[in-house]
């Protein structure tokens, strides 16, 4: 497993971490001195387990093993550490294993059944390994320790995705264990070119952050840029992938997300195959995918598991829903305030009758209803699950009906706000849905002051801003701007899989997916419509 930024970046980061925490030095050769220091630094932790015993060698040798049972696999420690060292079936040591160094090498080579071990002489490095859940073995008279990989502890099992649900497709999702998440991706990409690098970020949390890519597909320039941005992060804590996102994004002032996040391993695998880079953070089920373009936020995993015509139809619906969620209330304000002549006369009469007696202009009315609905939506999310959904539904119904009966808002405004909310919920990406919710208020203000002219002015500014965005050097509106015909087969509609011969050239070094000539065709000997085998065609 390669470390991100080795060797120079990791050395400098390790130096900075050691400066903030404790001075880095070698272990003591005396077992009691090492144990005293361990108790001094970790003695108040109730989960620290220290076990002393003697190895039956040429002459008894005192050793000690310690670990944190809350982050270690206790069954693995008992079966492959203690039972291996204390077993009466331990191989007979060869003659001359009577010095501490010889005993240390003998234990490393013959006495431990755990899969991965490492010899460490640095105290700070040893402490970090213990805090990760590994078991440390100390030998009397030798200033190195043996670290066995026994990471485990309680963790959530693999379950169905909660935010990106599909009807047809895999039901597994990432968990909070980075080892489990990497395994879910490896299960889908069985390639020797699967690249995996890791780094520890956070002087206090020492969070493991992994970067994944496919070597012969991803552009080396993009991989190097991701590696460089991760290595530059120097902070005290990383608790979720959102921390990493804010450190490495290109434009932190933009309301549009330029880094895609997902909790589905099949989505990460599909993006890796396209040439993108995935970032997984220990302790969170959400992975980051870079570079990111706008069309990714309108794509759901199920689009590729259904037929291409069904996936294309549903994707077009999402684009329409995004337009409604963004401009719905603003269009209503512009029509009722400035551009009544655009409405048919019967509809205008009905709207005027519905708004008769409402004391507020359409802008204030829309702001009040939208703000109330946003508060109800947030309350429904934060309340306990048993009552949250009921409160949000009942609150919306009761509040809307009471507001109409009191003459504060018009019935048509309740309809507009409801349709806008439903359209917002249809977005497969929560990040882009929040962006639409924020920009909606700005477009409402523009419509309240300038009507459709204000909406068009705001739209021009929004598109110009989106055109200026970059995600790790890739245009945010690509492949629409700049226009690339070969990549347009998976933007607004999804073409059949056999027709998409090329990967996106913006992110992939190797762009050819498959040789030409793929696709459905009538094979020789295939049954004809009458049910009889047809003759071979020339």
> What is the pLDDT, as a whole number, of residue 388?
62
Residue 352 main-chain phi, psi, to 5 deg: -65, -40
To 10 degrees, what angle do helices 362-382 and 430-450 make? 160
> What is the pLDDT, as a whole number, of residue 530?
46
- What does each of the 538 residues of the chain score in pLDDT, given as a tens digit? 556 655 444 434 433 443 334 445 888 888 888 888 888 887 667 888 888 888 777 677 788 888 888 888 888 888 777 877 776 666 666 666 667 777 778 777 777 777 788 888 888 888 888 888 888 988 888 888 889 888 887 777 787 887 888 888 888 899 988 988 999 999 999 988 998 899 999 988 889 999 999 999 999 999 999 999 999 999 999 999 999 999 999 999 999 999 999 999 999 999 999 999 999 999 899 999 999 999 999 999 999 999 999 999 999 999 999 999 999 999 999 998 898 888 888 888 888 877 777 888 889 988 988 888 888 888 777 777 666 666 666 666 677 777 777 778 888 888 898 899 899 988 888 899 999 999 999 999 999 999 999 999 999 999 999 999 999 999 999 999 888 888 898 899 999 988 888 899 889 998 888 888 887 865 544 544 444 444 333 3
Cα–Cα nearest to 8, from 231, 237, 247, 236: 231
The Cα–Cα gap between 432 and 258 comes to 10
The Cα–Cα gap between 247 and 203 comes to 15
The token duo for 352 is 């005027």
Cis before residue 483, ω within 30 degrees of 0? no
> What is the pLDDT, as a whole number, of residue 528?
47
Angle at 188 between CA 241 and CA 262, to 5 degrees: 25
> What is the pLDDT, as a whole number, of residue 387?
63
Q: For residue 75, is it left (φ>0), alpha (ψ between -120 and 50) or beta?
A: alpha
Q: Is 462 helix (H, G, I), strand (E, B) or coil?
A: helix
The DSSP-derived string for 22-77 is ----BPPS-HHHHHHHHHHHHTT-TTEEEEEEEE-SSS-EEEEEEEETTTB-HHHH
Please identify which residue in the block is written with the tokens 């200033």: 143
Please identify which residue in the block is written with the tokens 């550490």: 81
> What is the pLDDT, as a whole number, of residue 27?
87
> What is the pLDDT, as a whole number, of residue 492?
92
Look at the chain and count its residues: 538
The count of C-alpha atoms lying within 13 angstroms of the C-alpha of 489, restricted to the half-sphere facing its C-beta, is 14
Residue 31 main-chain phi, psi, to 5 deg: -65, -45
Please identify which residue in the block is written with the tokens 């204030």: 364
């Amino acid at each position: 497993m390669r470390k991100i930024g080795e060797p120079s970046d990791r050395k400098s980061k390790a130096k900075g971490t050691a400066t903030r925490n404790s001075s880095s030095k070698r272990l003591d050769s005396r077992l009691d001195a090492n144990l005293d220091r361990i108790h001094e630094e970790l003695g108040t932790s109730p989960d620290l387990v220290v076990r002393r015993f003697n190895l039956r060698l040429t002459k008894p040798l005192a050793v000690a093993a310690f670990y944190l049972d809350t982050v270690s696999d206790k069954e693995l420690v008992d079966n492959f550490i203690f039972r291996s060292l204390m077993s009466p079936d331990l191989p007979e040591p060869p003659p001359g294993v009577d010095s501490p160094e010889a005993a240390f090498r003998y234990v490393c080579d013959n006495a431990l059944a755990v899969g991965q071990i490492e010899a460490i002489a640095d105290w700070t490095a040893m402490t970090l390994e213990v805090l990760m859940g590994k078991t440390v073995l100390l030998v009397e008279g030798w200033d190195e320790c043996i670290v066995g990989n026994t990471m485990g502890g309680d963790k959530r099992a693999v379950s169905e995705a909660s935010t990106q649900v599909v009807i047809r497709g895999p039901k597994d999702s990432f968990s909070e264990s980075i080892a489990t998440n990497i395994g879910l991706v490896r299960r889908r990409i069985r390639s020797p070119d699967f690249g995996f690098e890791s780094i520890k970020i956070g002087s206090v949390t020492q969070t493991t952050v992994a970067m994944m890519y496919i070597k012969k597909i991803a552009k080396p320039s993009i991989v190097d840029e991701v590696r460089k941005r991760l290595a530059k992060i120097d902070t005290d804590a990383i608790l979720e992938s959102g921390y990493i996102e804010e450190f490495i994004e290109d434009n932190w002032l933009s309301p549009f997300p330029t880094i895609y996040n997902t909790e589905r391993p099949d989505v990460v695998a599909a993006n890796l195959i396209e040439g993108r880079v995935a970032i997984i953070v220990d302790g969170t089920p959400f992975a980051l995918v870079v570079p990111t373009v706008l069309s990714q936020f309108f794509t759901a995993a199920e689009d590729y598991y259904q037929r291409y015509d069904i996936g294309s139809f549903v994707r077009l619906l999402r684009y329409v829903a995004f337009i409604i969620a963004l401009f719905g209330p603003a269009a209503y304000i512009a029509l009722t305030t400035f551009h009544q002549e655009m409405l048919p006369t019967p509809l205008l009469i009905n709207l005027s009758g519905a708004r008769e007696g409402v004391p507020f202009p359409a802008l204030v009315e829309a702001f009040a209803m939208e703000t109330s609905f946003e508060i109800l939506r947030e309350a429904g999310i934060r309340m306990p699950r048993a009552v949250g959904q009921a409160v949000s539904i009942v609150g919306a119904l009761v509040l809307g009906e009471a507001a109409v009966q009191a003459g504060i808002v018009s019935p048509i405004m309740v309809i507009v706000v409801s349709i806008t909310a439903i359209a917002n919920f249809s977005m497969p990406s929560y990040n882009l849905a929040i962006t639409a919710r924020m920009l909606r208020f700005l477009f409402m203000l523009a419509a309240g002051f300038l009507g459709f002219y204000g909406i068009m002015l705001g739209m021009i500014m929004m598109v110009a801003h989106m055109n200026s965005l970059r995600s790790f050097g890739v245009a945010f509106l690509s492949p629409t701007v700049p226009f690339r015909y070969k990549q347009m087969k998976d933007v607004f509609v999804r073409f059949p899989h056999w027709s998409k011969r090329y990967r996106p050239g913006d992110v992939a070094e190797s762009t050819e997916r498959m040789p030409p000539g793929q696709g459905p065709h009538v094979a020789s000997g295939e049954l004809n419509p009458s049910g009889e085998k047809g003759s071979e065609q020339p």
